[in-house]
Amino acid sequence: MKEYGAEVVIRALSDGELSKIFTIIGPVPLQPDGTPDLSKTEIEKNFEALRLATSMGLVEPQLDAKDVAEMKFGAPEYIGMKILEMSGVAPPELAKKKEEK
């Protein structure tokens, strides 16, 4: 992580963990390929969901929700998005790149 001069180890989330993420976000419209369209969620809920994904998916270092909330802005959101990508929940721009191949 550039912001901290450190590397982190992350893992994919389980279906149960992803369900908790989507409970925060609320109803999520799907893209034509069936993946969730996270671009149409409320920004505050999106940040909260990404921070939760970070606290659940970080293997090393292990951080709880309070620790994640105290990280520099952008770091937990970046890590959370990478965890969601790894879990099969791709952001819209990544889905488009896959379709082009």
Q: Which two tokens stand for residue 82?
A: 């990478």
pLDDT per position as a tens digit, 4-43 = 677 889 999 999 999 898 888 777 677 788 777 766 667 7
3/83: higher pLDDT: 83
Range of the domain at 39: 9-100
**Exposed, middle or buried, 76 (CB in 10 Å: 0-12/13-18/19+)?**
buried
pLDDT per position as a tens digit, 67-100 = 998 998 888 988 998 999 999 875 555 444 444 5
Does 1 reside within a domain? no
Q: Which two tokens stand for residue 32?
A: 């034509």
Those residues whose C-beta lies under 8 Å from the C-beta of residue 72, and which sit 6 or more positions away, are 3, 4
Q: pTM higher than 0.85, yes or no?
A: no
Those residues whose C-beta lies under 8 Å from the C-beta of residue 51, and which sit 6 or more positions away, are 65, 68, 69, 76, 77, 80
Does 4 reside within a domain? no
pLDDT per position as a tens digit, 49-68 = 899 999 999 999 999 888 99
Does 52 reside within a domain? yes
